[in-house]
Structure formats: structure tokens, C-alpha cells
Amino acid sequence: MGKFMKPGKVVLVLAGRYSGRKAVIVKNIDDGTSDRPYSHALVAGIDRYPRKVTAAMGKKKIAKRSKIKSFVKVYNYNHLMPTRYSVDIPLDKTVVNKDVFRDPALKRKLKKKSAYGLSLKNWLTT
């Protein structure tokens, strides 16, 4: 069977804190590593989606409801459900590595980058 969990594939998170959220695979490891001996993927996703805005709302309220919150996490393939969609994300691979998960400041920086750097399609935020 072919490998379909590739970078850029849109997935749904099935388990954990972010279950039900949409995410994109940034990096996949099919064979596992010494510390994670199973197939897993580094994903970046949307934790808080933008809410509906109307013309009657003020600028401050529109700005508050339009915010997006992202997450970056490593998931086992068993906890991800691939969709038929894939995106082309220009995410810098040198920034995404194991050091990001050891240093909280680097992780916050990456989360901010992934939130503002994604070219969001309509289906990703609905």
C-alpha cells in the first residue's frame, strides 16, 4: 500500500486535547525513532477558529472574533484521520525540529508563525 501521510496532507485529530480539530502534517516519520518507536507526524493545526461576524458589530468586536489560535504537536498515526485534501505550505523546515519541544519560547514562536503563515483555504476554517 502506498504512503499517504505526507507533508501538506490535511488531517483531523481524533484523540487528546485537540480532538476534532483540523491540522496539516508538517513532517512525517513512518519508521519511528528511538524515543518514539511508532509511526508519527508533526502537525500544525487550528485550535480556535475565527467566529462569525456581521456588519452590525463594531471594529473591536470583529477584530476579537477574527482571531485564530494554532497548535503544534506530535501525534501517532492512529490518532489522525487523513482527509482527501492537501495544501502547499511554505513552512521553514529548519525551524521545526526536536529543540522546539524542549524550549517553550521556541514553541510559542513556532505556533505564532504557523498561525499567521498558513494560506488558509475556505474549507480549513469551516
Rg (Cα) of the chain, in Å, rounded? 16
Residue 107 lies in a domain: yes
Domain with 16, as residue range(s), is 9-124
Residue 54 lies in a domain: yes
Can you tell me the mean pLDDT for 72-93?
84
- 14 versus 42: which is more confidently predicted? 14
pTM (two decimals): 0.70
- Cβ–Cβ under 8 Å, residues 21 and 49: no
pLDDT band at 101 (very low <50, low <70, confident <90, very high): low
Q: What is the pLDDT of residue 93?
A: 63
Residue 1 lies in a domain: no
- % of the chain exceeding 90 in pLDDT: 27
Residue 77 lies in a domain: yes
Residue 3 lies in a domain: no
Domains in the chain: how many in total? 1
Kindly state the DSSP code that residue 87 receives in the 8-state scheme. Answer: -
DSSP symbols for 6-22 = -TTEEEEE-SSTTTT-E
Residue 2 lies in a domain: no
Residue 31 lies in a domain: yes
- Does residue 28 register a pLDDT over 90? no
pLDDT band at 114 (very low <50, low <70, confident <90, very high): low
Residue 60 lies in a domain: yes
**Residue 106: CATH number of its domain:** 2.30.30.770
